[in-house]
Amino acid sequence: MPVASSRVAIYPGSFDILTYGHLDIIQRGRKLFDRLVVAVASNSSKTPTFSIQERIDIIRAVTGPMGNVEATTFTGLTVNFAESQGARFMIRGLRAVSDFDFELQLAITNQQLDRNVETIFLAPSPEYIFLSSSLVREVWRLGGDITKFVPPEVREALDARKG
């Protein structure tokens, strides 16, 4: 009897701030794969709200009950990280048409770098289609209620920053 191979995917991003849109993609992606690695990247062009370790800790707190989801950080090329994890798939979220051009360029570049890693695009559920970390950060900064946009662990971590 043949042994089933493990289907592994990575979901790379900065995840600063983790939103319900991200969580929607994580929950749906984990159903498609045996193991889903949420890969937190450092983006030098952004000023993050949370350190990389804080982002990983938040992701782990939120996804802990899911079982087949892990969170870790990486540096370098995403396709190289995918290979190091034994992942043949990369999940990317598409919110709007404006995301498509960039994400398609990224997917084609990654395919040129490593033909063994396939990019899978997932659209968030309709209630999260226009939700972004930048939007949440601005609403929070201006004192607005973000409970509809982020898990409680994120809101608590943000509130601790105000304190």
Q: Based on C-alpha coordinates, what's the Rg of the chain?
A: 16
- Note if 51 is an active site residue: no
- Choice among 46, 141, 148, 161 that is catalytic: 46
DSSP string, 23-66: HHHHHHHHHHSSEEEEEEEP-TTS--SS-HHHHHHHHHHHHGGG
Which residue bears the tokens 């304190």?
163
62 vs 18, 23, 154, CA distance in Å?
9, 8, 9
Q: Which of 7, 28, 95, 155 is catalytic?
A: 95
Tokens of 101: 């051009």
Evaluate the CA torsion angle 30, 36, 37, 42 in order and state its sign. negative
Catalytic residue from among 22, 30, 55, 92: 22
95 is catalytic: yes
* Distance, CA of 91 to CA of 25 (rounded, Å): 8
Is 14 part of the annotated catalytic residue set?
Answer: no
Residue from 30, 55, 92, 133 carrying the catalytic annotation: 133
- Provide the annotated active-site residues: 22, 46, 95, 133
